[in-house]
Amino acid sequence: MPPDSGAQSNEPGYPRELEGGASLRDGTIVRIRPIRPDDDVKLIEFSRRLSPETVYRRFFRSLPALPLEWARHFANVDYRDRLALVAETDDPAAALIAVARYEAVPEHEAVKEVALLVEDRWQGHGLGGTLLDRLLDAAAARGIHEFQADVLAGNRRMLDLLLRRT
């Protein structure tokens, strides 16, 4: 796996214990780590590689690319009430290939909304389930156990994944 390239990973509160490799169904190893503020540009690049269908299933709208203000919001978390884990390849560019996150539901502070987004060519390899499991484990370690997810009725992959985790 590539060495950690982000200075922010040394900031107080950054949960280094959540960093690590994961083996996918086909044996490919990916790196999973908490998101960092400097990932905002990588999130935009990641969003540009997604199919329109994948974007719509996650954001319920068409987007040519993630707006910068959204990317900044998504990349800046407190690692407790808002947490995101990213998966990246081991190539020198360390491109983001998936993101799993939770954050508070405004009307129910104890409930966290969970969301997952996997680049199209990495779907079907077990990455979504691996990321979701790691995210839920991290949440449990922080005393968080109640989740909700907004999922389109036609998004069978995500619905099946969530059903297997309940």
| pLDDT the model gives residue 120 | 95
Question: pLDDT (tens digit, 9 = 90+) per residue, 128-158?
Answer: 999 999 999 999 999 999 999 999 999 999 9
Q: Which two tokens stand for residue 18?
A: 């959540």
| Single pTM value for the model | 0.90
CA-derived radius of gyration, the chain: 15
Q: Over the stretch 107-131, which tens digit does the pLDDT of each residue have?
A: 887 899 999 999 999 999 999 999 9
Helices (H) and strands (E) in the chain, counts: 5, 6
CA dist 162 and 123 (Å) reads 15
E strand intervals along 13-157: 20-23, 29-34, 83-88, 96-105, 108-118, 146-148
pLDDT of residue 108: 81
**What rounded mean pLDDT belongs to the chain?**
90
Identify the structural domains of the chain with CATH numbers, from first to last. 19-164 (3.40.630.30)
CB atoms within 10 A of CB 150: 9
